[in-house]
Amino acid sequence: MYIAEAFKYRHEFWRYILGTLLVIAGVIIGQIPLAVVIFLSGGMEVMGMEESQIMQVLEPNLNLFLMLLTFAVGLVAVILAAKYLHGQSLRSLTTSRKKIDWGRVFFAFGLVAVLTVLLSLVDYYANPEDYVVNFKPVPFLILTLIAIVMIPLQTSFEEYFFRGYLMQGIGVFSGNRWLPLIITSVVFGGLHFFNPEVTQMGNIIMTYYIGTGFMLGIMTLMDDGLELALGFHAANNLVAVLLVTAEWTAFQSHSILKDISEPTAGWDVLVPIFIIYPALLYIMARKYGWKDWKHKLFGKVEKPETLKLSEEA
């Protein structure tokens, strides 16, 4: 089982505390280039600006690259913490299988990418007054190169840290699966509270962020690995940043379309949580033969028998 992979390596509680602090330090270090460039571009005036205003100080492609660089440094910190603090391989941090299943990554990526494009096109043709064409060939080409390289690093950081490192660590010490699922999902969603979307659309949008955390966590526990979550998250963010931007989003870009509608959120934010996400889970469950949902989501986490026998010997 995926969480039990942590038993094979050094898993003392203090190591996870120290590892988490190192990851936080890595993210802070990764923010330094963005902070320096923003300050040099805007001077002291940036000190009193809101986040959405600060992001407009820089050229969108440069701003996006520097924002994503923060997460890339964080990803390196997660991998180094796992390797040197726990002696854990990248494979075991990714999956309980003998090797990383890239087919699962690409399946989830393709499924979510196609769905996101279709839903975006439906909304564009249903509400054309809400969009303007934002396409500029050269800036879009640069955006595409940045996004293809950096977005997977950003989403991989979040998956390896929340659904990987923290889920395994909390699962080992709690002895169950439901607590790491709840904690990692709520913390993951809660960190999005500082996104400009929340300011513009209200706290109800947090339902979507936390619900997405639960979706990715369920996917990881049921499939005994991060592969599907990695593909899902990368496709969701990559397609979104290339297709549509808005002045009030966290990722402002030279995308194909720009949303000029008034940002609002109501019960429609529940559609992904209660309709789209369950449908995606059903498709994955059928494809990969998921069974015993109760045990995989709420059962105990126990040390593998082979490890118990070796320790007794």
Which residue, among 91, 117, 67, has the nearest Cα to 5 in the 3D structure?
Answer: 91
| Cα gap 235→199, rounded to integer Å | 25
For the chain, what's the residue count? 313
Give the end-to-end CA distance of the chain in Å, rounded to a whole number. Answer: 23
What's the pLDDT score for residue 146?
97
The label of the residue with tokens 């706290």 reads: 203
| Cα gap 46→39, rounded to integer Å | 7
The domain total for the chain is 1
Enumerate the β-bridge partners of residue 246. none
What residue numbers bound the domain in which 167 lies? 3-312
The model carries a pTM of 0.94
Enumerate the β-bridge partners of residue 257. 133, 244
Question: Is the Cβ–Cβ distance between 75 and 157 less than 8 Å?
Answer: yes
pLDDT in tens, 261-303: 888 777 778 899 999 999 999 999 999 999 999 999 999 998 8
Sequence-ordered list of residues with C-beta below 8 angstroms from that of 86, at least 6 positions apart, any chain: 6, 9, 10, 11, 15, 19
What's the pLDDT score for residue 46?
65
What's the pLDDT score for residue 40?
85
What's the pLDDT score for residue 306?
65
Residue numbers in the chain where pLDDT is lower than 70: 43-56, 305-313
pLDDT in tens, 92-141: 999 999 999 999 999 999 999 999 999 999 999 999 999 999 999 999 99
What's the pLDDT score for residue 74?
98
The H-assigned helical ranges of the chain are 13-42, 51-55, 60-80, 86, 90-94, 102-126, 137-158, 167-174, 178-190, 196-201, 206-223, 227-243, 270-271, 277-288, 293-298, 305-312
Q: At 238, phi and psi to the nearest 5? A: -65, -50
What's the pLDDT score for residue 178?
97
What's the pLDDT score for residue 33?
95
What's the pLDDT score for residue 285?
98
